[in-house]
Amino acid sequence: MIIGLDGMTFDVMKPLTEQGVMPTCKSLMDRGSWGTLMSTVPPVTGPAWVSFATGKQPGNHGVFDFFKPTKANNKARISRRVVNAREVDGKTLWQILTEAGKTSIVMNVPVSYPAAPIKGVMLADMLSPHKEGDFSWPRDLIQTLEPKLGEYTITVNWQGYSAARPQQFIDDEIKCEWQRTRYCLHLMDQYPDWELCFPCFTETDRMMHAMWNYLDPKEREKLKKSGKYDQAVMDKVIEFYREQDKMIAQLLEKAGPETTVFFVSDHGFGPLYGKFMVNNFLAQRGLLVVNQMKIRQALALILLKKMWFKFLKAIGFQAWARQRLTRRAARQSGAARTFYDVFYESIDWEKTKAYMASNTEGGLYLNVKGRQLYGSHVDHGCIEPRDYEKVRNEVIEALRDIRHPDTGRPMLSHVKVREEVYTGKYVQRAPDIVFFLDNGEWIADFSLGKGAFRKADWKTGSGMHRMEGCFLACGPGIRHNPNVTTDIFNVVPTVLGYMGLPIPDDMDGKFIREAFTDEWLAAHEITYAGSSSQEGKGWGEGQDVFNPDEEQVLVDRLRGLGYLD
């Protein structure tokens, strides 16, 4: 059994186990191997969970973000769209197990829509536009389960709640997690021959984004000193983790004492103090040129649209109006259908050298001639290939000049060029520069026309991703070792080796030997053979998965989860 705990860190779990809040997890830690699971660079949910599932790093599976570059029917002819499972280059753990004749139960793993036809059962993730069709495997599964088990919630959008009363948000998180647990327990009965059961709880990530100022002792003290601390909220936060531990206990009881359990998180967490508007900074340095009139017009239209939809929601017509507008935009040649269309059309590509294109990618792109990042149909490049490294160094030096808004000290704490971060067939499509500000305490925002800095609030969240996630393994043949440090793409090769299957040669990950006893290792041979590549899968293969209505649903959801303004 693999239990996915999105965003979980032992900085949170270990104190809670010591306080008696999570006794089930404490028992596993006392008996098993556990420690730090290093995420992808940067530590982003989409590419990190894909790296887990495939045993590959992003340069080999091709997913660097929730969004990816694409051609578009707008004035710039380029844009971005939401990623999906069909463009992952590499077989997932459950696809490999299907080929080996083994049954899997897979629930809510990010970037798993459309659900794959596997031996067993699958419910897809938050990048599912709805619960119809490709959301589940078998295709009619969710429709047969909901009448028995109640409505299944895809995700809880924490930004839809109020900072003044976060208790309702936490109650809904608990309700969502218990519903996932009930579904998983039911499927374990329905598929008793399962050999992999993998429920992924993404609610842990939402909690830490929204409530990190209560979870982190230092941030909690700041709340108390400012007079903003509420013990009732703290009690509700503790209740969330107490209930989560009970859910894990029920899953393990159903699985049986001989079942091996793994905990995996895609990244860790730490405090967030604000956002830095990096494209505005690049514009000030002359590295990016934008049409300010277009930006002002777009912002005005966005404001009017928000006010209009707020009114329509009040009278019950929001969904109808949104669908009608989206379909109309899809029919109109060159119409700005998404926020990305506005972004790309606002940039003067003949004069722009560098730009950031996503809040969740942590990187900058250089506008190089002939790169074909968006396909062969258009080339907006203005940098000669021979000048690539020169301009890249120029941009890095500019980033070193970013200063803290309060202290004036330099904020750049981590900067790497793409070949230092990634290897593999998709490196040329990766951001040219990856960087962190104040070790993740401030994040870069790609929005245009919004000044330089924005302090953290309920909409940004008080917590943000860190590299250090969590790994735990407990079961037959696994030793007690509380000092494991490994990478996220090593877990699936370890599971395959533990199940007696060969680890594909083209996986980046390796077997985590330090988690196992000498006796087990001596009795079992770990082999590497074969390939996990998929014919016809990879970059651009999922171009037509979402229609415009569905794309808008997903953009709204990602905005509700704090990934977009």
Q: What is the pLDDT of residues 484-530, one digit of tens each?
A: 999 999 999 999 999 999 999 999 999 999 999 999 999 999 999 99
Sign of CA dihedral 62, 65, 66, 67: negative
**Average pLDDT across the chain, whole number:** 92
Which residues lie across from 80 on neighbouring strands?
Answer: 69
Q: What mean pLDDT is predicted for residues 87-99?
A: 96
Q: Give the pLDDT band of residue 412 (cuts 50, 70, 90).
A: very high
Which of the four pLDDT bands, split at 50, 70 and 90, describes residue 372? Answer: confident
Q: Which sequence spans correspond to the domains of the chain?
A: 2-272+464-560
Q: What is the mean pLDDT of residues 5-13?
A: 98
Residue 143 has pLDDT above 70, yes or no: yes
The pLDDT tens digits for 326-368 are 444 444 433 435 778 888 999 999 999 999 999 988 899 999 9
* Cβ pair 459, 159 in contact under 8 A: yes
pLDDT of residue 238: 98
Question: Who's near 562: CB < 8 A, 6+ residues apart?
Answer: 158, 159, 209, 459, 460, 461
For residue 205, the one-letter residue type is D
At residue 377 the predicted structure's pLDDT band, cuts being 50, 70 and 90, is: confident
As a whole-number percent, the residues of the chain with pLDDT over 90 amount to: 79
Q: In which band, very low, low, confident or very high, does the pLDDT at 229 lie, cut at 50, 70 and 90?
A: very high
Per-residue pLDDT averaged across 274-295, rounded? 90
How far is Cα 52 from Cα 31, in angstroms, rounded to an integer? 24
Helix axes of 23-31 and 10-18: crossing angle, nearest 10 degrees: 100
Average pLDDT over residues 69-95: 92
Tokens of 524: 């079992």
> What is the per-residue pLDDT for 102?
98
More confident residue, 450 or 423: 423
pLDDT at 538: 67
Average pLDDT over residues 223-252: 97
What's the rounded Cα separation, in Å, for the pair 548 and 63? 21
pTM: 0.93
Rounded Cα distance between 115 and 84, Å, is 10
Q: What is the pLDDT of residue 328?
A: 47
pLDDT of 320 higher than 60: no
Least confident range from 139-143, 273-277, 326-330, 369-373: namely: 326-330
pLDDT for position 336 = 39
What pLDDT shows up at residue 564? 79
Q: Which residue has the higher pLDDT, 539 or 169?
A: 169
The arrangement of secondary structure in 2-272+464-560, i.e. its CATH architecture, is 3-Layer(aba) Sandwich (3.40)
Q: What is the pLDDT of residue 509?
A: 97
Measured CA to CA, the distance from residue 270 to residue 208 in angstroms comes to: 9
**Regarding predicted confidence, which is higher, 360 or 202?**
202
Q: Which of 130, 93, 109 is nearest to 45 (CA)?
A: 109
What average pLDDT does range 432-461 have in this prediction? 92
pLDDT at 389 over 70: yes
